[in-house]
Amino acid sequence: MIKRCTGPIPLALALLNLGCPGPAPLEGERLVDSGAEVRADSGRLRWDAGPKSEAGPRQDGGQAQDASVRDLGLTDAGRPLIDASVLDIGPAIATDAGPADLGPPARPDGGPVWACGPLPMSCPELRTQHHRMTSTSGCRFALEPPDWEGGNRLVERLVQRVGSRRSMGEMLSDLNRVGRSLGGWYLGRSIVGAEGFRWNSGDDDVRYWMPQGVSGSSDAWALGRVNGRRIIAVAWYDNGEGAGANRGVRVTFADHTLGTVRYRHALLVEPLPTAIPNFRGIDSHAGGIVWYGNYLYVAQTRVGFRVFDLNNIMQVETDQDEMGYVDGRYYARRYKYIIPQIGLYRLHEDSCAVKFSFVALDRSTMPHRFLSGEYHAGDHSGRLIHWRMAPNTHRLELREGLARGEGAALSGETKMQGAVTYEGRWYISSSSQFLRYGKLYTTAPGEGAPSERPWPYGPEDLYIERDRDRIWTATEFRGYRKVMNLRRTP
């Protein structure tokens, strides 16, 4: 029987160009010798110092729009960020069906690879049929890396001033809240095989904090544990309904190793270049997060990815509802721990416009890849874009100084709240696809209609717990907030 070439191609076949052929190039891609230079425009978009951005890059080849985001990138302060994941050698394959932006990895003798053409590129309005995922080129999308040195200086100044750096292990030994059992029924709908937990009653009912992004220790490290614990992380944004100033974004770290779930919230902050080191809360929807090594990535809707430094968690005072430096002390709206922003990946001015509504990590490929995507209420042509990662640094891989998209697709689904790829399959979390409930779709480019599974009310981002082969989400609406998972199905 002849084996069909719709799935992963073994590295040996890819390198020897035997068996199944590699993908054909899409628009903007070309076959180049691995020693040749692929030029890309190096122009940079200038940003103001305001707290947020609603501007995007060029839509049709014109000049970039104005924006108001300050780049606060950081470095790892000379500390190596190498962990066991760099030894997690899997097959070097493209796992998505359909054409990819890159072909087989470069051979030691300098063999051919696919590479993106120079920017700017055309930005056509692409469409696909409902429930039909279609491949497209990721080369149209490009991100500028952070100013790691400048960001690191800001964080180090703040750490030295606050004077209370804490490790992730120390914070995880100080969990102060207890979760509750999930139960078998979910707003009148039973989801067979669901596992997980509920927040305590206060977090379940709070009006102004809304759960969104989901990640965990299986994303963070190759072995899937932090100090031997299974940890899930959930981001919440302040929707402004509460009294007082907006608190920004908090991230919850929950230990679900044993039957009882314990957790704690920490506030994400942005260091400020003031005479006395200071910080403020961040303005973000936080629709998707990835915990990758010592970095926490947060999707910034019209910009790219904020990056936070888990090596520099700080403990602050909790006896006043203040933010930042006040009368010689530091506060974070009564939260005990803060996590500082270390950098910002932002869309290049010559990139086609795209939203970063959510983000997830695929550790089944080598190199690992992020998958970002965009929410649209009524448009089923929302785009999903892969971004190659560098496991030894836990940063985005750069080509000619920019991160370029690869393996992109038009989703075929509306109301995407999250998506993740794993072992060649694409999983999409969509809200309100059946009455008030969501659906979990499993598909791949060119396959036809996806398979569907029941999904809860108000589902958000997705996260794969690899060793248990479970797919997680968090739900957002007060009174019905759950952190739940199902067995992943290929």
User: What pLDDT digit, counting tens, does each position of 460-490 carry?
Assistant: 999 999 999 999 999 999 999 999 999 998 8
Least trusted range by pLDDT, from 182-191, 276-285, 302-311: 182-191
Report the distance separating Cα 272 and Cα 290, nearest Å. Answer: 24
Q: Tell me the pLDDT band of 21, cut-offs 50, 70 and 90.
A: very low
Over 90: is that where the pLDDT of 94 sits? no
Query: Looking at the 3D structure of the chain, how many domains does it have?
Result: 1
CB 68, CB 55: distance < 8 Å: yes
Among candidate residues 348, 334, 351, 279, the one with its CA nearest the CA of residue 308: 279
Q: Tell me the pLDDT band of 25, cut-offs 50, 70 and 90.
A: very low
Q: Calculate mean pLDDT across residues 136-142.
A: 96
CATH number, residue 198: 2.115.10
- pLDDT-above-70 percentage for the chain: 75
What's the pLDDT score for residue 484? Answer: 94
Least trusted range by pLDDT, from 106-115, 162-171, 203-212, 409-418: 106-115
What DSSP element (H or E) covers 159?
Answer: helix 148-162
Specify the DSSP class assigned to residue 312. Answer: G
Measured at the alpha carbon of residue 252, what is the angle toward residues 207 and 72, in degrees to the nearest 5? 100
Q: Tell me the pLDDT band of 60, cut-offs 50, 70 and 90.
A: very low
pLDDT, tens digit, 9 for 90 and up, residues 205-240: 999 999 999 999 999 999 999 999 999 999 999 998
Over 70: is that where the pLDDT of 394 sits? yes
- In this structure, is residue 97 part of a structural domain? no
What's the pLDDT score for residue 188? Answer: 53
Report the distance separating Cα 243 and Cα 203, nearest Å. Answer: 16
Report the distance separating Cα 58 and Cα 267, nearest Å. Answer: 33
Q: Tell me the pLDDT band of 435, cut-offs 50, 70 and 90.
A: confident
- In this structure, is residue 32 part of a structural domain? no
Least trusted range by pLDDT, from 65-79, 151-165, 395-409, 417-431: 65-79
- In this structure, is residue 269 part of a structural domain? yes
What's the pLDDT score for residue 4? Answer: 33
At 150 the three-state DSSP class reads: helix
Q: Calculate mean pLDDT across residues 415-424.
A: 96
Q: Tell me the pLDDT band of 61, cut-offs 50, 70 and 90.
A: very low
- In this structure, is residue 376 part of a structural domain? yes
What's the pLDDT score for residue 261? Answer: 96
What's the pLDDT score for residue 436? Answer: 82
What's the pLDDT score for residue 244? Answer: 65
Mean of pLDDT over the chain: 80
Extract the tokens encoding 74. Answer: 């950081």
Q: Tell me the pLDDT band of 434, cut-offs 50, 70 and 90.
A: confident
Among candidate residues 46, 40, 43, the one with its CA nearest the CA of residue 65: 46
pLDDT, tens digit, 9 for 90 and up, residues 340-372: 999 999 999 999 999 999 999 999 999 999 999
Over 90: is that where the pLDDT of 11 sits? no
Which residue(s) pair with 404 in the sheet?
142
Q: Calculate mean pLDDT across residues 28-45.
A: 31
Which residue(s) pair with 420 in the sheet?
427
Residue written as token pair 């991230």: 251
What are the angstrom distances between the C-alpha of 212 and each of 166, 194, 428?
A: 25, 19, 15
Distance of CA 354 to the CA centre of its chain: 15
What's the pLDDT score for residue 113? Answer: 52
Over 80: is that where the pLDDT of 63 sits? no
Q: Tell me the pLDDT band of 87, cut-offs 50, 70 and 90.
A: very low
What DSSP element (H or E) covers 48?
Answer: none
Domain that holds residue 230: 148-487
Extract the tokens encoding 14. Answer: 């890819």
Residues ≥6 apart with Cβ < 8 Å to 283 = 51, 52, 246, 248
Write out the E strands in 244-336: 249-255, 262-272, 278-281, 289-292, 295-300, 304-309, 313-315, 323-326, 329-332
Report the distance separating Cα 402 and Cα 58, nearest Å. Answer: 16
- In this structure, is residue 313 part of a structural domain? yes
Q: Tell me the pLDDT band of 114, cut-offs 50, 70 and 90.
A: low
391 cis-preceded (ω within 30 degrees of 0): no
What's the pLDDT score for residue 185? Answer: 56
- pLDDT-above-90 percentage for the chain: 69
Residues ≥6 apart with Cβ < 8 Å to 473 = 214, 417, 418, 429, 455, 456, 459, 460, 461, 462, 463, 483, 484, 485
Among candidate residues 431, 380, 449, 433, the one with its CA nearest the CA of residue 409: 380
Its pTM stands at 0.80
Half-sphere exposure in the Cβ direction for 363 (13 Å, CA): 28
CB 483, CB 215: distance < 8 Å: no
What's the pLDDT score for residue 257? Answer: 92
What's the pLDDT score for residue 30? Answer: 38
Please, what sign has the CA dihedral across residues 211, 310, 90, 224?
negative
Please, what sign has the CA dihedral across residues 375, 380, 382, 386?
positive
CB 123, CB 140: distance < 8 Å: yes
- In this structure, is residue 143 part of a structural domain? no
Phi-psi category of 481—alpha, beta or left, where left has phi over 0 and alpha has psi -120 to 50? beta
Over 50: is that where the pLDDT of 92 sits? no
What's the pLDDT score for residue 107? Answer: 37
Report the distance separating Cα 214 and Cα 254, nearest Å. Answer: 11
- In this structure, is residue 95 part of a structural domain? no
What's the pLDDT score for residue 181? Answer: 86
Over 50: is that where the pLDDT of 23 sits? no
Extract the tokens encoding 151. Answer: 């960001």
Over 90: is that where the pLDDT of 65 sits? no
- In this structure, is residue 69 part of a structural domain? no
